[in-house]
């Protein structure tokens, strides 16, 4: 069983969904420590003026130093952030070919923001996965497994818990991954090697770091052709040892 373990993110980029597609089991790593300036509560879209950030306000001040876990981060719903985010998305993409096709189902999440960040970004991510026709993957939250350990040790414990011996990781993990520990536990690790082509845009050159919704609204049902479908030879893996 091929497994992926990634921290939940807000409307993440296409590489995130590529890793979902590559797996049989996708584990939302929601009991990792919250990183204040990461992608957990923000991402980038684009309009005629260029790239812009959408950031969900969270109640994390003073708690990061106290090992606040992602699963415990609360959204600051005292502001109209969700309404403003959707208005910005609508203003940016309403003229794209596929905005109407996807907008109503996506808007639902912004109409009903919950208290916890994970309860917003995880269901939204899983919904977008369904829009990309990813139907073969089982989703799980790591917090339901109650595994402990530091870095690679915790990853090993999670994978053993779900009886998985094949781990697909992002390339940046090479800097800290203890591959010997994985090998000792008979776990094969492979790293993604992201190679994406550009796609047409209303606003000039594309950027691979933008949220998936930029690609989705522009290319619609062809979105996956610019992620895993664009691999030479129609192979379904972009992996390096």
Q: What is the pLDDT of residues 132-191, one digit of tens each?
A: 999 999 999 999 999 999 889 999 999 999 999 999 999 999 888 999 999 999 999 999
Determine the pLDDT at residue 66.
63
* DSSP states along 51-108: EEEEE--B--TTTGGGT-BGGGPBB-TTS-HHHHHHHHHHHHHTTSTTHHHHHHHHHH
Tokens of 18: 């590529």
Give percent of the chain with pLDDT exceeding 70: 91
Instruction: Give the integer Cα–Cα distance in Å for 15 and 196.
Output: 9
For CA atoms 33, 34, 36, 42, the dihedral sign is positive
Question: Confidence class of residue 209 from pLDDT cuts 50, 70 and 90?
Answer: confident
Instruction: Give the integer Cα–Cα distance in Å for 128 and 217.
Output: 12
Q: What is the pLDDT of residues 52-102, one digit of tens each?
A: 999 999 996 655 446 899 999 999 999 999 999 999 999 999 999 999 999
Question: Which comes out higher in pLDDT, residue 196 or 207?
Answer: 196
Q: What is the pLDDT of residues 118-143, one digit of tens each?
A: 999 999 999 999 999 999 999 999 99
Q: What average pLDDT is seen over the chain?
A: 91
Instruction: Give the integer Cα–Cα distance in Å for 140 and 122.
Output: 10
What single DSSP character describes residue 170? -
Alpha-helical (H) ranges within the chain are 14-22, 81-93, 99-111, 118-131, 152-161, 179-184, 212-219
Task: State yes or no: pLDDT of 212 exceeds 50.
Answer: yes
């Amino acid at each position: 069983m091929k497994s992926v373990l990634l921290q939940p993110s807000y409307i993440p980029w296409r590489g995130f969904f590529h890793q979902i597609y590559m797996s049989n089991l996708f584990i939302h790593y929601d009991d990792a420590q919250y990183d204040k300036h990461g992608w957990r509560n923000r991402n980038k879209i684009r309009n005629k003026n260029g790239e812009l950030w959408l950031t969900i306000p969270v109640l994390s001040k003073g708690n990061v130093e106290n090992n606040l876990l992602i699963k415990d981060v609360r959204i600051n719903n005292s502001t109209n952030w969700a309404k403003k985010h959707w208005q910005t998305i609508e203003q940016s993409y309403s003229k794209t070919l596929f905005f109407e096709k996807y907008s109503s189902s996506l808007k639902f999440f912004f109409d009903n923001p919950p208290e916890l960040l994970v309860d917003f970004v995880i269901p939204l991510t899983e919904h977008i996965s369904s829009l990309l026709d990813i139907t073969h993957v089982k989703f799980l939250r790591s917090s339901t497994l109650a595994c402990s350990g530091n870095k690679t040790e915790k990853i090993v414990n999670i994978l053993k818990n779900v009886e998985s011996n094949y781990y697909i990781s992002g390339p940046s993990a090479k800097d800290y991954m203890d591959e010997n520990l994985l090998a000792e536990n008979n776990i094969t690790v492979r790293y993604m090697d992201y190679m994406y082509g550009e796609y047409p845009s209303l606003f000039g050159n594309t950027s691979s770091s933008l949220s998936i919704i930029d690609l989705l609204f522009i290319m619609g049902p062809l979105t996956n052709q610019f992620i895993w479908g664009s691999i030479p030879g129609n192979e379904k893996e972009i992996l390096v040892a």
